[in-house]
Amino acid sequence: MHANSAWDRPEWYGLSFEEPNVIAVTVHPTIWPAVVGSLTKRVSSLREKKAEPPANLYREKMIRIAEQFTLPSLTEPKETDGAFGFQNTCFSYQHDEQGWVCRFYLPGHQEKERGRAHATTLNWLCNSLWLIGGDDNIPKPKGRHRQLVVVEDICYTGGYNELGVGISITPTLARWIAAQPQTQRVPIVEQAIASMYRWMVGGKLELLGHECCCSFGQYFGVYLRCPGNACELGGGGPVDPNDGYCLGPHNVDCFPQEFALLAGVAKLCDLARADLG
């Protein structure tokens, strides 16, 4: 079975970009306690700085990077409405009829130094969701909505050409994309990419919009691009919609590019979710 086929199941979390400068992650209430538990464990590990087996390279990397932030600036999560993140909270969360909605308010160009804190916080959340999604011991949600994407990784350290986001397109979303007119540009997704990039770096939208792209194709599935030197998110092809596929970054050099591409993915999810019902 293809790796992305494993994510072909009822939705346990979803991405959305419906508010200006806000990427929302809606978590199903069934798994919310497990998410808070996972995040709390990470916070405790960071505070105690306890060593674990050398094989756990991800955790060692996480601690080295997170130590760049002062611990007093780390707000811990709770199972009730609240906030979580580095540098005095990066996202707020509250319960509504859809589940627990985590809203990331991305930093504007006047506070661009907060980009690393936001990327680290979002990485923690998405990695916890990834682990929970693959843990058969945790009860999974039931419902008619299917998982559309899974965030595989969000880079929060590195330098030139070392940032980016990894996305798994599930079979549900892959089939929806394949059913759309191919070679078609998707202006509403391109506008989401442009607006997020402009918010984080400043500048005029009309000078940036032509560099933003979202298109569908039978060979590559979906392709997204934002301002930069061939800064893009794509699968390369060929893809099989019934298996799903992965999207990887290319020439992502800064946090605004990383979050702009993620905003495009979130807006793509909004379109598919509305169409699929």
Query: Contact at 8 Å (CB) between 142 and 10?
Result: yes
Per-residue pLDDT at 204: 65
Range name among 31-45, 151-165, 226-240, 257-271 with the lowest pLDDT average: 151-165
The conformation of residue 133, written as its DSSP 8-state character, comes to H
Paired tokens of 233:
């998110």
For 194-234, write each residue's pLDDT tens digit: 999 999 888 766 656 678 999 999 899 999 999 988 899 99
The backbone region for 274, taken as left when phi is positive above 0, alpha when psi lies in -120 to 50, beta otherwise, is alpha
SS3 content of the chain, % helix, strand, coil (to 5): 40, 25, 35
- How far apart, in whole angstroms, are the C-alpha atoms of residue 172 and residue 81? 31
For 50-91, write each residue's pLDDT tens digit: 445 444 555 555 555 555 555 556 787 888 888 888 766 678
**6 pLDDT band (50/70/90 cuts)?**
confident
- How far apart, in whole angstroms, are the C-alpha atoms of residue 102 and residue 54? 32
Residues of the chain with pLDDT > 70, as a percent, come to: 81
- Per-residue pLDDT, averaged over 132-156, amounts to 86
Return the domain boundaries, the chain.
3-276
Per-residue pLDDT at 55: 47
- Per-residue pLDDT, averaged over 150-172, amounts to 80
For 84-137, write each residue's pLDDT tens digit: 887 666 788 888 877 889 998 887 776 666 777 888 888 889 999 999 988 888
State which H helix or E strand residue 168 sits in: strand 165-169
- How far apart, in whole angstroms, are the C-alpha atoms of residue 10 and residue 37? 22
Chain position carrying tokens 């893809």: 239
The conformation of residue 241, written as its DSSP 8-state character, comes to T
What are residue 15's DSSP bridge partners? Answer: 25
Per-residue pLDDT at 228: 87
State which H helix or E strand residue 266 sits in: helix 255-276
Query: Contact at 8 Å (CB) between 123 and 51?
Result: no
> Mean pLDDT of all residues in the chain?
83
Three-state DSSP class for 20?
coil
